[in-house]
Structures are given as structure tokens and as C-alpha cells.
Amino acid sequence: MKRVTFADGTDVPALGQGTWMMGEDPARREDEIGALRRGIDLGMTLIDTAEMYGAGASEELVAEAISGRRDAVFLVSKVYPHNASTGRLAAACEASLRRLGTDCLDLYLLHWRGSVPFSETVEGLERLVAAGKIRRWGVSNLDAADMAELRGTAGGEAAATNQLLYNLSCRGIEWDLLPEARDLSMPVMAYSPIDQARLLGDAELAGLAREIGATPAQLALAWVLDRPGVIAIPKAGRVTHVEENAAAAGIVLTDEIRARLDALFPPPAGPSPLAIL
Ligand code: NAP
């Protein structure tokens, strides 16, 4: 499994697991827990969740999936923007830790930018680092101007990552955010790497995948994994999907396949507003 290194030297698998919408349907619970556990077995040990997902139900499901294996997992959660003030951040983090059944997060992200000034959020996050509640912090859904403002805020340069919508059909960040992150040795976390399964219906992607003996999901993931400094976090609530996705880590793209994917899904020709879900 390819690994990606944070600026502090910590490395994580380039292929992790998302959990949005997990824990919401009791009938799917056992399958979802089984899928996450199988993913850990297969080396997808980075797990991404958020206080928002299922209003905490996703974090509780993750707790069950990683029970007895906390040390094998790189655990990521996110705080709502309205909880990212110095007054509310500590309580929000404590609630996530309780739901996750752990005493420390490996990475804690501001889910998107709200009305709380960055200076306040950074101060609150740094207090959580000092208190040993989180090992590092980052952001999500910040555009290039937001990132410049964050880095101009005292302590803001400590942001470990920006988690962004990134997949074959959504390549806008290649214009600015991705090269800027690389210059800073800051990994980017690619969310919705198979475009919430929409990419799987693309006939041309399917044809190309068939040619190389892969599935469309595997080719879409292999393309994300081929990018330096990018961590992909597909969500799969079924063991079969997890196993299929894990095998994407073993696919090596040739220059010819890269060029044909570029022709089908062109890179940006200029700046564009940040796409978010
Ligand atoms: P995604 O991972 O691109 O797609 C998930 C969908 O694809 C699910 O319906 C899943 O179905 C299906 N799927 C997965 N593997 C498959 C396979 N091999 N074959 C067929 N279908 C497959 O979309 P996402 O969940 O939006 O994004 C991934 C993670 O990123 C989220 O779960 C979340 O952790 C994070 N995220 C963050 C933000 C943010 O604002 N920071 C926003 C969106 C997402 P099954 O569940 O049935 O397997």
C-alpha cells in the first residue's frame, strides 16, 4: 500500500475509508461494521468520520468497528463550523471522543468555513493539541483564498491537510490548491473519490477499465492514488466493495492510460470556484 506523509513526518496509507451515511440505517449496521473491519485488515487503516455524520451515529459505528484495534487506526473526525469557536470546540471534541470510544484523535478537521474567525478556531485547536485530545488538526472545503488567509493567521501554518472533493470528474483543485499543497508538503485528502458512485455509470471509463482488467471503481481510485500527496477516502458499506477498492492500490497506471483518462476527464484550463458537496 502506497503511503502519504504529513509535514510532521507521520505517514498514513494513501487509501483510507470514508463513513458518511454509515450508522444511519440499523438494518445496514452489521454490514457497515464488517466492511470497515475488512478494510482495516486490508490496510485501509485511515478512517474518516465527522460529528455531522448521522448526528454522531457514524462515530459510534466507527467505535464498534475499531474496538480492540484503536492503535492500528489513524482516526479522523470533523467539527461543525458552528462548534469551531474557542467556547464550543473543546466540548464538541470531547463528545466526538466519547462517541468514538477513544481519548485522542489522530486528526481533527474544521468541516467547512463558517462565521467563526480562523484565529479563534486555530487557538481552540492548538489548545486541544496541547491537552493531548488531538494529535494534529486540519481543514476541509477551504478554497485557495481561504487557505491563504488561514496561513496568514497566527498558528494557521500548522494545518496538516485540506480535505477536498476530488475525483476524475471534478479536477478543479489541480489548478491551484493541489500544487500549493504540494509546495507546502501538505497532503490533500480526496473525498468522494468515485463521485459517490456516479463515475461507475460512465461507459467510457468502464470500457477503459475493462481493457486493463479493472472495474470502473478501481480505475477511478487508482487514478486518485496515482497523484502524489493525495489520500483517497472512498466509502464502502459492503465487504465486496471494500475488497474491490483495496485492490485498486495494486494498479499501476501507464502514461498511455493517464493520457486517455485526461482526454475523457480533462484537467482544469483555468481557475474555478471550489466544488463542494
Ligand atoms: P464516494 O466514496 O465517492 O462513494 C460512495 C458510494 O460509492 C457509496 O454509495 C458506495 O456504496 C459506493 N461504492 C463504494 N465502492 C464501490 C464499489 N467498489 N463498487 C460500487 N459502488 C461502490 O463518496 P462519499 O461517501 O461522498 O465520499 C467518501 C468519504 O469522504 C465520505 O464517506 C466521507 O467520509 C468523506 N466526505 C467528506 C466531505 C467533506 O465535506 N469533508 C464530503 C463528502 C464526503 P456502498 O456503501 O453500498 O458500498
Distance CA 36, CA 188 (A): 22
Asked whether 53 and 21 are in contact (CB, 8 A), the reply is yes
User: Does any domain span residue 146?
Assistant: yes
pLDDT in tens, 102-143: 999 999 999 999 999 999 999 999 999 999 999 999 999 999
169 belongs to a structural domain: yes
Residue 273 domain-assigned (yes or no):
no
Whether the CB-CB separation of 112 and 276 falls below 8 Å is answered with yes
Instruction: Average the pLDDT over 147-166 and give the result.
Output: 98
pLDDT digits (tens, 9 = 90+) for 233-275: 999 999 999 999 999 999 999 999 999 999 999 999 999 999 9
pLDDT of residue 155: 98
Residue nearest to atom 4 of ligand 1 (CA): 196
Within-domain flag for 275: no
CB burial readout 199-229, b (16+ within 10 A) else e: beebeebbebbeeeebbbbbbbbbbbbbbeb
Which residues are CB-neighbours of 145 under 8 A, at least 6 positions away? none
The whole-angstrom separation of Cα 1 and Cα 36 is: 17
| H or E segment to which residue 263 belongs | helix 255-264
Catalytic residue IDs:
53
Q: Which of 192, 239, 245, 274 has most ligand 1 atoms within 8 Å of its beta carbon, as the pocket-test mutant?
A: 192
The total number of structural domains in the chain stands at: 1
Q: Is 8 contained in some domain?
A: yes
Predicted confidence (pLDDT) per residue in 13-52, tens digit:
999 999 999 999 999 999 999 999 999 999 999 999 999 9
Residue 271 placed within a domain: no
Residue closest by Cα to atom 47 of ligand 1: 237
* pLDDT per position as a tens digit, 160-214: 999 999 999 999 999 999 999 999 999 999 999 999 999 999 999 999 999 999 9
Q: What is the SS3 assignment for 11?
A: strand
Q: Which residues contact 243 (CB under 8 A, 6 or more apart)?
A: 38, 42
Task: Determine the pLDDT at residue 104.
Answer: 98
The predicted structure's pLDDT at residue 30: 98
Residue 158 confidence (pLDDT): 98
Q: What is the pLDDT of residue 125?
A: 98
**Residue 197 alpha carbon to ligand 1 centre in Å:** 7
- CATH number, residue 33: 3.20.20.100
Chain segment 65-74, per-residue pLDDT in tens: 999 999 999 9
Per the domain annotation, does 109 fall within a domain? yes
Domain hosting 31: range is 3-264
For a ligand 1 pocket test, name from 20, 230, 239 the mutation site with the most ligand atoms within 8 angstroms of its C-beta. Answer: 20
Calculate the dihedral angle through the C-alpha atoms of 231, 182, 106, 133, rounding to the nearest 10 degrees: -150
Query: Is 188 contained in some domain?
Result: yes
**Nearest to residue 106, comparing CAs of 79, 132, 136, 80?**
136
